[in-house]
Amino acid sequence: MARNALSAGFTGDIANPTGASARTKAIVDRARDEAGLVAAHVTDHPAVTGSALAVVALLAFVTGYMLGTSSKPRRHRWR
């Protein structure tokens, strides 16, 4: 216990900070928590994580290929 007692008593509810810095801190804390959960999942299930990454990479490749082939000019330069 503290040597000097507080002279002021509890005067009501503690006000939650509502400014931009408080909201930013809350968002950063949530992002850190989610990153920790993702890291824990990756270490617990490496095969599922590898498969999911392979599927995402394949979808990204197919999407890029489709966009690349649809945007190329129809004239050939060597003709």
Domain boundaries defined on the chain: 23-71
Confidence of residue 21 (pLDDT cuts 50, 70, 90): confident
Distance of CA 26 to the CA centre of its chain: 13
Q: Residue 72 pLDDT > 70, yes or no?
A: no
Between 16 and 32, the higher pLDDT residue? 32
Between 55 and 7, the higher pLDDT residue? 55
Question: What is the model's pLDDT at position 6?
Answer: 58
Query: Lowest-confidence range among 1-5, 13-17, 26-30, 36-40?
Result: 1-5
Q: Where are the alpha helices (DSSP H) in the chain?
A: 20-44, 46-71
CA–CA dist 61, 38 (Å, integer): 24
Between 1 and 21, the higher pLDDT residue? 21
- Residue pair 55/48 in contact (Cβ under 8 Å)? The answer is no
